């Protein structure tokens, strides 16, 4: 018998082990499906099937209103894993979720409803250890009451003490914010929350490692959340921050990465989850726009204006196209006009409503902003930035914010957040702190209501 060269044998063993490890990873990979019930009724499981796979978590028998549930399956054979799950609402509306996970190639999904006149469906991809999708089932004309958590300034790795840019603060920040997430989830389970809003300062200086920590901690929230950028993400770091760990040595690297991440969230996730009258202001091909976005939920139109409505900046790069961040005032006027024509009251969200917005906006811009608030039924503005929970403009008449109530959500890194209870076009706002892992109610703010459309001046 001819002897096999030891080096040849080593190469053969390496190839076999590589094949087996690749096969093992693929064969036993999991697919994760998350469904959000944004309808008026409980969803009942109508049917479910799985071919060439094994359930690790089966679809639950029902999904409460405002609830998000998860199920998962493992692909354990050398062929496609295929399946369908159907949920049904009390009025007969159904959502059908179909998936095909090939042994090789790209996963495919198809989400449909039998009542397209009354309901919308959408999904966004989940990336990470387990691939999968986040699915939304939304009733167009939502009539029930609902809850929203409004937050700002997670700002990893900032705490009351220590250097917020130092690794020494990383674990203490994680521990604090794990408690905050735990407390918010506990409040959610007491009375389900439909979604959350985070108004800026998602990082301390736009660095990717701090952004990764934000996602690591806050992706544990049991409801979807939608955020905007703040001055710490793409203002303070302009021409002052590189990403050398990622071989991006532009001094605008950190600001640009913040913008690119925000644009990706808007285009890849939010427009597929915030289904009703979603609108945004960023051209990916031209790398230009304000990054503002908006959507309807029930009788309220929600707007995210990022840092502040008049902020603009140009972010150049030695090897990539220049990014042009524009102010959002023109877009906002068009957006609010359309929302008003649909009979909606509006809530504005942005990061800094007390410092840079006031100092860096012209008198004409401030006047125009007030006119938009007064003309198009803007009932409230939620901001952050100061790290101080506050309610202002209770009696109206503010020279910039008109009669809109102003709520400041404090800072997540301190444990602060707001719970907003929504009834038609009215909101009640309560202050909570969860830094110790338990939601502790601090106080109730004064609520406010949007006006009926026919009461407004045309």
Q: What is the pLDDT of residue 27?
A: 45
Q: What is the pLDDT of residue 458?
A: 34
Same domain, 381 and 354: yes
* CA distances for 326 relative to 32, 329, 337, angstroms: 37, 9, 20
Same domain, 351 and 262: yes
Domain with 117, as residue range(s), is 26-139
In a domain, 168, yes or no: yes
- Please count the CA atoms within 13 angstroms of the CA of 443 that sit on its side-chain side: 8
Same domain, 342 and 327: yes
Picking from 115, 139, 163, the residue at the C-terminal end of a domain is 139
Question: Domain of 118: which CATH number?
Answer: 2.60.270.50
The count of domains in the chain is 2
Same domain, 231 and 370: yes
Cβ–Cβ under 8 Å, residues 295 and 276: yes
In a domain, 111, yes or no: yes
pLDDT tens-digit readout, 368-421:
999 999 999 999 999 999 999 999 999 999 999 999 999 999 999 999 999 999
Q: Which of 297, 279, 277, 274 is nearest to 424 (CA)?
A: 297
In a domain, 8, yes or no: no
Work out the angle between the directed axes of helices 170-190 and 208-218 (0-180°, nearest 10): 30
> What pTM does this model have?
0.92
**Dist. CA 257–CA 248, nearest whole Å:** 10
In a domain, 122, yes or no: yes
Question: Domain of 283: which CATH number?
Answer: 3.60.21.10
In a domain, 181, yes or no: yes
Same domain, 153 and 118: no
Same domain, 184 and 317: yes
* CA distances for 241 relative to 257, 317, 327, 430, angstroms: 11, 12, 23, 38
Cβ–Cβ under 8 Å, residues 337 and 376: yes
Q: What is the pLDDT of residue 15?
A: 42
Q: What is the pLDDT of residue 103?
A: 82
Q: What is the pLDDT of residue 259?
A: 99
Average pLDDT, the chain: 93
In a domain, 18, yes or no: no
**Dist. CA 318–CA 251, nearest whole Å:** 10
Same domain, 34 and 172: no
Same domain, 104 and 199: no
Q: What is the pLDDT of residue 58?
A: 98
Q: What is the pLDDT of residue 454?
A: 44
Same domain, 264 and 388: yes
Low-confidence stretches of the chain (pLDDT beneath 50): 1-2, 6, 9-10, 12-27, 454-458
Picking from 75, 104, 139, the residue at the C-terminal end of a domain is 139
Judged by DSSP in three states, 369 sits in helix
Residues 6+ apart with CB under 8 A from 41: 65, 89, 90, 91
What DSSP string runs through 200-260? S--SSSS-HHHHHHHHHHHTT-SS-EEEE--HHHHTTTTTSB-BGGGTB--TBHHHHHHHH
Same domain, 129 and 154: no
Same domain, 45 and 150: no
**Dist. CA 117–CA 16, nearest whole Å:** 54
- Tokens encoding 126: 């989940």
What DSSP string runs through 169-214? GHHHHHHHHHHHHHHHHHHHHHS---EEEEES--SSSS-HHHHHHH
**Dist. CA 83–CA 131, nearest whole Å:** 15
Picking from 121, 139, 157, the residue at the C-terminal end of a domain is 139
Same domain, 180 and 90: no
**Cis geometry, peptide bond prior to residue 300 (ω within 30 degrees of 0):** no
Q: What is the pLDDT of residue 22?
A: 41
């Amino acid at each position: 018998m001819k002897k096999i060269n030891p080096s040849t044998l080593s190469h053969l063993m390496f190839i076999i082990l590589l094949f087996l490890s690749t096969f093992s990873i693929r064969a036993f990979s999991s697919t994760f499906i998350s469904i959000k019930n944004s309808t008026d009724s409980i969803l009942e499981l109508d049917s479910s099937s799985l071919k060439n796979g094994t359930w690790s978590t089966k679809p639950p028998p029902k999904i409460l209103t405002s609830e998000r549930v998860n199920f998962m399956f493992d692909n354990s054979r050398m062929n496609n894993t295929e399946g369908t799950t159907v949920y049904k609402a009390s009025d007969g509306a159904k959502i059908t979720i179909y998936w095909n996970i090939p042994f090789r190639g790209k996963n495919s999904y198809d989400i449909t409803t039998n009542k397209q006149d009354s309901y919308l469906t959408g999904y966004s991809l989940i990336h990470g250890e387990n691939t999968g999708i986040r699915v939304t089932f939304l009733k167009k004309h939502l009539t029930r009451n609902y809850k929203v958590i409004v937050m700002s300034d997670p700002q990893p790795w900032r705490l009351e003490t220590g250097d917020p840019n130092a690794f020494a603060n990383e674990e203490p920040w994680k521990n604090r914010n794990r408690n905050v997430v735990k407390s918010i989830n506990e409040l959610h389970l007491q009375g389900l929350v439909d979604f959350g809003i985070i108004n800026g300062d998602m990082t301390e200086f736009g660095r990717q490692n701090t952004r990764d920590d934000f996602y690591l901690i806050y992706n544990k929230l049991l409801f979807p959340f939608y955020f905007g950028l703040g001055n710490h993400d793409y203002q303070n770091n302009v021409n002052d921050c590189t990403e050398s760990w990622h071989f991006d040595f532009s001094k605008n690297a950190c600001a640009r990465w913040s913008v690119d991440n925000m644009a990706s969230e808007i285009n890849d996730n939010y427009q597929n989850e915030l289904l009703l009258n979603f609108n945004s202001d960023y051209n990916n091909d031209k790398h230009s726009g304000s990054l503002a976005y908006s959507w309807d939920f029930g009788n309220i139109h929600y707007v995210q204006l990022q840092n502040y409505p008049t902020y603009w900046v140009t972010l150049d790069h030695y090897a990539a196209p220049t990014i042009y961040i524009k102010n959002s005032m023109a877009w906002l006027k068009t957006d609010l006009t359309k929302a008003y024509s649909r009979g909606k009251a509006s809530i504005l969200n942005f990061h800094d409503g007390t410092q840079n917005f006031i100092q860096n906006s012209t008198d004409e811009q401030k006047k125009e902003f007030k006119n938009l608030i007064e003309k198009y039924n803007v009932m409230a503005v939620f901001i952050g930035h100061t790290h101080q929970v506050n309610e202002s403009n209770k009696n109206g008449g503010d020279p910039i914010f008109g009669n809109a109530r102003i709520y400041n959500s404090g800072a997540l890194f301190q444990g602060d957040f707001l719970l907003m209870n929504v009834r038609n076009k009215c909101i009640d706002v309560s202050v909570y702190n969860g830094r110790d892992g338990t939601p502790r109610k601090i106080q109730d703010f004064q609520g406010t209501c949007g006006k009926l459309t026919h009461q407004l001046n045309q």
